[in-house]
Structure 1
């Protein structure tokens, strides 16, 4: 259960932050996931004390015992979210309460303590505040945030740990895909599955991604940007990419996406896209969609667009699908009109360019503060 006590974060600023001139140079080309800010948030948990020792401190290596539970039994979960610069220069988060709720759901599945939502939100906001100068000015730039938690108890034994460490780190980010292509290519995994009924597919845990890496490596070998996984039982139903949800646009105004149900991660971007698509008058159908149907609909012209979505890649067109049996192209092989429209609507809301009718954007502080 979540600890109901209010946690106060102790502020321990770094005594040796990156110099402003060096930071400016680094932010000219931040890439994705390789550059990090000066600080991190940290909270400890023990069965005896609950959540405690909350602080914002210098980002530095973590000292771990070789017998730390996570290294042997992989009790670990994480989230992915972004902080944005709004059009007026203020800073904001996008639907952070949904990340907090999903973090709790992942913890329940992995037999870990649930971090109170208030503590999750406070940790993220405090880190963004202290490292606010790390926002990149590149087109589409943002501050990617990675809250995560792992079992830190020192023991060898198959049971849930009694001690955990929760942290948040921040990474200035540019574009997610290195190719820079307007539409990505996908490799159909025929030998590997991402998740099975009763497994951890709906939890955002490192083990899911570790199991997907061999398939992603195969995709890269085949000159594809991403891998798409099929269901584990019949190996015919499309589920999701290695790190994104999928949508299919038909010529009669339908938007199809594979249903949740334990094997697919409930993406926050996915949920936002569904809401925006319905506002555009589309019929959104959450239903199984087979790999054979995908190819047939693309060939007949019934399928006009396919796109993937997630926090890192936002909304990204899928142009080509490849497998050991050949390949097929969706539409003209580039971004379609609906893909571009939904992406623009979502990005404009996230960055404060368009009205936020859903209360999704949480402003943190203004440019003058």
Structure 2
């Protein structure tokens, strides 16, 4: 266990903060970052907050060669009273350890990691934008740093947290996006790393995304890696369908990431008394429901976009237009409710919101 002491070295040169009109997702970073090291035989040690800066690694560091990396993504919000709020951050720390287990990375102390995250956010709270739809994106990640060319788990790691003030993830905002159904490439298979949040999953998606962009699509809809028949995820999000009044989302099957937003949406829908089914669903079933006029809405869920309505699916050179290409009533209600809870504008009946209290610096 740690004594919760973190050495803080303040940045003597503070950067100008961007206006909320100029926020581009993931391009601007705050003045400080958190770092902690792991050494075999010692464990995690030397927690510190330092000025945001380049990291110095040897060219032979194992992260570069064998992809031993994991990361998380969550957000901090500032409400009208100036309180700084996090949304279910303990779930991100828990999922990071699940990713660590899959990638043979030593577990972090989840309680301490959350303490460190709050300490960093508290230090950087003036960076949290307050305009509608903006937030402070939080990126915790771990990389293997041992200088060794050999296929085995590293004996050294760094755990780092960086912060970025952000606007909307998609330039389209809450407006529906066009999605390309991917039939050539696959993202993951059961037994692979699809359930872990690791860099390799995302680099594997780049080619399909490039092809989809050329077709005028914002994202891809991934099918299963074996039969290329069953729906898994949409881009970097989980996906939901409203078919004849029932909400359906692909069941977690060993290759789908268990999204924090996904779980929250399911709980919210059940709380509203709306039927939710987690099951295998094929793209052919979606086409049939569309042909019968039963496909009422579709949307993706994730930390970055929260809710991303889907206006159409492009599959086999045809477009399946959903709800006349307009945002559905349920998608809007879910977005407004979840973002309202996250930002403290609406009551939180689930105990999801975690406040960042002003912490005394060590």
TM-score interval w.r.t. the shorter chain?
over 0.9
- Confirm whether residue 199 of structure 1 aligns to residue 196 of structure 2: no
1:315 to 282, 290, 307: 307
* SS in structure 2 at match of 1:332: helix
- Confirm whether residue 278 of structure 1 aligns to residue 270 of structure 2: yes
Question: Gaps spanning 5+ residues in structure 2: where?
Answer: none
Structure 1 residue 27: deviation in Å? Answer: 4.0
Following superposition of structure 1 onto structure 2, how do residues 259-270 of structure 1 map, counting pairs within 5 Å?
259-270=251-262
Deviations 1:269-312 (A, max 9, x none): 00000000011111110001111111111221111000101000
What is the match of residue 14 of structure 2? 17
* SS in structure 2 at match of 1:209: helix
CA contact (8 A) 2:174 2:308 kept: no
Separation in 2, partners of 1:123, 1:28: 30
Separation in 2, partners of 1:6, 1:289: 48
CA contact (8 A) 1:7 1:52 kept: no
2:329 to 331, 337, 340: 337
CA contact (8 A) 2:69 2:141 kept: yes
* SS in structure 2 at match of 1:137: coil
* SS in structure 1 at match of 2:184: coil
* SS in structure 1 at match of 2:213: helix
Structure 1 residue 6: deviation in Å? Answer: 3.8
1:109 to 98, 102, 109: 102
Question: Gaps spanning 5+ residues in structure 1: where?
Answer: none
1:84 to 60, 77, 83: 77
2:152 to 156, 159, 164: 159
Of stretches 267-276 and 180-189 in structure 1, the one that deviates more from structure 2 is: 180-189
What is the match of residue 65 of structure 1? 58
Structure 1 residue 261: deviation in Å? Answer: 2.0
Separation in 2, partners of 1:16, 1:345: 39
- Give the TM-score of the pair, scaled to structure 2: 0.96
Of stretches 6-15 and 195-204 in structure 1, the one that deviates more from structure 2 is: 6-15
Structure 1 residue 355: deviation in Å? Answer: 1.1
Structure 1 residue 158: deviation in Å? Answer: 0.9
Separation in 2, partners of 1:299, 1:281: 27
1:52 to 41, 45, 53: 45
What is the match of residue 234 of structure 1? 227
* SS in structure 1 at match of 2:225: coil
Structure 1 residue 180: deviation in Å? Answer: 4.0
Of stretches 324-333 and 271-280 in structure 1, the one that deviates more from structure 2 is: 324-333
Separation in 2, partners of 1:181, 1:327: 20
Separation in 2, partners of 1:40, 1:117: 18
- Confirm whether residue 359 of structure 1 aligns to residue 359 of structure 2: no
Structure 1 residue 324: deviation in Å? Answer: 3.4
Structure 1 residue 7: deviation in Å? Answer: 4.4
Following superposition of structure 1 onto structure 2, how do residues 293-304 of structure 1 map, counting pairs within 5 Å?
293-304=285-296
**Superposed CA RMSD:** 1.2
* SS in structure 2 at match of 1:220: helix
- Give the TM-score of the pair, scaled to structure 1: 0.95
Deviations 1:74-94 (A, max 9, x none): 100000000011232210100
Runs of 4+ that moved beyond 3 A: 4-7, 25-28
Deviations 1:128-185 (A, max 9, x none): 1111111123321100000000100111111100000000000000011124461011
Of stretches 25-34 and 144-153 in structure 1, the one that deviates more from structure 2 is: 25-34
Structure 1 residue 28: deviation in Å? Answer: 3.7
Structure 1 residue 127: deviation in Å? Answer: 1.2
CA contact (8 A) 2:179 2:221 kept: yes
